[in-house]
Amino acid sequence: MSYYCYVYNDQAGQAYYVGKGQKDRRWTRHDVEIPPDEQTQVFEFENEWEAWECEIELIAFYGRECDGGTLLNQSTGGPGATGVVRSEETRAKMSRAQTGRVVSKEGRDMIRAAHLGTGGPTHFNCKRYQVTTPDGEVLELRGLAEFCRERGLSRGNMCETANGARSQHKGYKVVRIEAEIA
């Protein structure tokens, strides 16, 4: 299944909305005007988490209007995105929908890890990578988010490196380690 991140641009080429989707999401109803295809940039990914990371980075790059940027996005992007302020009525409706719902401890841990972006072995979508640093040190990682955050690297560029779209990012080389079949 293919995922993508998209950027809506106005006629002057200024970005005004960033989203993530699959299939025909970029053409379906939004709270913003949908531009013609030639004014839409699309970045395709094999994995959903890569599209989420791209969305987060693009929103941070262009900035939301409420933060002084150009985007009309309400949230900062990604799963469990922040920045959206819901009305009391909507919050009460969401609360009623969750009443009586039972989630296992394992499920809570996975949800917490996904929302906190902590990655690690409890994250349901966490992949394994072999990273070679500019100094030649070889590391085996579970997830790239924290590693990139600590070193000021772009997660999107590191993912592109792992997927073969780039040869390296700031001297770092990345190879995804496929899960072994038992």
pLDDT confidence of residue 20: 92
pLDDT confidence of residue 110: 66
pLDDT confidence of residue 1: 57
pLDDT confidence of residue 38: 93
Pairing of β 138-142 and β 128-132 = antiparallel
pLDDT confidence of residue 7: 95
pLDDT confidence of residue 124: 46
pLDDT confidence of residue 122: 42
Q: What does the buried/exposed string (b/e) look like for 122-137 if buried means 16 or more CB atoms within 10 Å of the residue's CB?
A: ebeebbebebeeeeee
pLDDT confidence of residue 82: 62
pLDDT confidence of residue 94: 81
> In whole angstroms, what is the distance from residue 72 CA to residue 79 CA?
18
Segments in the chain below pLDDT 70: 1, 80-85, 110-126, 179-182
Tell me the whole-structure pTM to 2 decimals.
0.48
Q: Which domains does the chain show, CATH number per domain?
A: 3-67 (no CATH), 104-177 (1.10.10.10)
Condensed to tens digits (0 to 9), the pLDDT of residues 53-82 reads 999 999 999 998 888 899 998 888 887 666
pLDDT confidence of residue 26: 85
Residue 37: partners with Cβ closer than 8 Å, 6 or more residues away = none
DSSP code per residue over 15-67: EEEEEEESTTGGGS--SSPPPPGGGEEEEEESSHHHHHHHHHHHHHHH-BGGG
